[in-house]
Chains A and B, each alone.
Chain A
Amino acid sequence: MDDAALIRAAQAGSGDAFEQLVGAYDQGVLRLALNLLRSPEDARDVYQEAFLRVYRNLHTFRFDCSFHTWLYRIVTNLCLDHLRKRKVRKMEPSTVETGDGTVDRLDNVAEQRAHADPQRALLSSELRDKIQDALSQMTDRERMVFEMRHYQGMRLRAIGEVLGTTEEAAKNCLFRATQKMRTALGAYL
């Protein structure tokens, strides 16, 4: 069944169709939320809230845009809310003080590369720090455009639709984001 048929079936009340829709998109949603928020706990919240919103509002979906765009609009709005809340309450620190020292919350984000070679692992860790610095230098919007284009492979037009802006504005955001990334990674180029 294609997306449109699944959506119609889910709108008619089919739980199976809804679960298939979730299964088709949920990995991308979780990955986007994790990349934008850099916190597995927050990504979990966004994942659940996004799909509950989809469930509650699917009957209002009128195929004016693709389901992917509609879903990602919900996800990016939720992520923006989380990022704004973090700024307001200065967010909990990324490290936790424990009896035996400091533990970084992001340490449980799986490192998928450079397991075997310690030298490569060190280089990779330095590089990731630089990339994190660059991402934190970006505005929320620049970061979203960069993440969606770079890590999700979305077209600029689709990103513009998700963020409720034009392709041109998304393009400008991508330029600025890339420049910031380039400045941060200058030593590696």
Chain B
Amino acid sequence: MTCQEAKEYLILAEYSELSFEEEERLESHLAVCSSCQAERERTRKLAALAAEGEAGLPAGLLPRCRRELAAALVQERRLECRPWHGFWRRWVVHPPLWLRPVGALAMVAAGFFAARWLPLPSGLSPAAGLTAAEPPAVSTRVRLVNSEAGGRVRLLLEETKQRELSGGLDDDEIRRLLLAAAADPADPGLRVESIDLLKSRTSDDEVRKALLDALRKDPNSGVRLKALEGLRPYARDPETRRVLASVLLHDDNPGVRTQAIDLLVQSKEPDVAGVLQELIRREENAYIRSLSQKALGEMKASVGTF
């Protein structure tokens, strides 16, 4: 065995990936080669050092993941209880092999006939042709495909109608729709943009409540940060302070916690000292701990509780 081969074997030996014969050959070489013996020590040390790079699980992350998964599974099971779900899964999501070409043909047929029979968007005639810039007023999606006797095909279409609405934030309907979009679980980008627009109307109780809900519950830290921005003028409001204190102690994002502490200490209310003392006791982030200490110092409060 050459030293180059031995070097490669040493890595595998460290991970116990050598066969009996390979290990024997390596040991025979090591017995007569002092430089490879030194190399073995270095390889062992490298493995031990690399172990330092393993990221530890943050406290509370696994229980949080389990809770969220349990909630998602409840949702999933609820969907399964719907009468069409079994049919949908069996015939559409995982259809039998023989049905797949039939389904493909059915979709082509659906596209062909839909193009012929569905009305074109207003203002367009077939002669004029469709312009890509104009979005369709109705989007159609085939949700179910079923073959019937005599070569007929039955389709279930889902049609979503699009409507454009414009107006100011003082318009009740605009504000109602933005509040709904701010809680849309499917699209965090939409939630951020909606809250960004709504944050100029925090004098409205409903808007402020939506921002507090987003700050407390939204799974996306970008949305929570945006809600914090909007709540800045209400740093003295008791309800806002209660939520900020809870966020400070429980939010898993250090950026959000940093912003929350910034807001909470704007007014040196006595209730904040207890929260900051508790924060120092449990906070893992050194920067946030130092912010709490600084704020307590300015309030002439002690860092610990007695």
Q: Do A and B bind each other?
A: yes
A119 is an interface residue with CB less than 8 A from chain B:
no
Chain A contacts for B51, CB-based, 8 A: 150-151
Chain B contacts for A150, CB-based, 8 A: 15, 47, 50-51
Known: A56-B76, A175-B8. A149 touches B15 (CB 8 A): yes
The winner among B11, B45, B59 for most chain A CB atoms within 10 A is B11
Which candidate, A24-32, A62-70, A72-80, is the interface stretch facing chain B?
A24-32
> Is the beta-carbon distance between B52 and A110 smaller than 8 angstroms?
no
B1 is an interface residue with CB less than 8 A from chain A:
no
Known: A43-B61, A44-B68. A171 touches B17 (CB 8 A): yes
> Is the beta-carbon distance between B259 and A98 smaller than 8 angstroms?
yes
B152 is an interface residue with CB less than 8 A from chain A:
no
Chain A contacts for B221, CB-based, 8 A: 41
B69 is an interface residue with CB less than 8 A from chain A:
yes
The closest CB in chain A to the CB of B255 belongs to: A96
From B17, B50, B59, B61, A44 is in contact (CB under 8 Å) with B61
Number of interface residues of A (CB under 8 A): 56
Known: A108-B254, A108-B284, A189-B42. A15 touches B77 (CB 8 A): yes
**Complex formed: what's the CA distance from A144 to B184 in Å?**
35
Chain B contacts for A35, CB-based, 8 A: 54-55
Contacting A at CB under 8 A, from B28-54, are: 42, 45-47, 49-54
For the A-B complex with A48-B72, A103-B254 known, give 9 more contacts whose Cβ atoms are closer than 8 Å. Answer: A35-B54, A47-B65, A100-B287, A100-B291, A107-B285, A107-B286, A112-B56, A175-B11, A185-B49
Chain A interface residues (CB < 8 Å from chain B): 15, 18, 22, 26-27, 30-31, 34-35, 38, 40-41, 43-44, 47-48, 51-52, 55-56, 60, 96, 98-101, 103-105, 107-113, 124, 127-128, 131-132, 135, 149-151, 155-156, 171, 174-175, 178, 181-182, 185, 188-189
Chain B interface residues (CB < 8 Å from chain A): 8, 11-12, 15, 17, 42, 45-47, 49-59, 61-62, 64-66, 68-69, 72-73, 76-77, 94, 221, 252-255, 258-259, 262, 284-288, 291
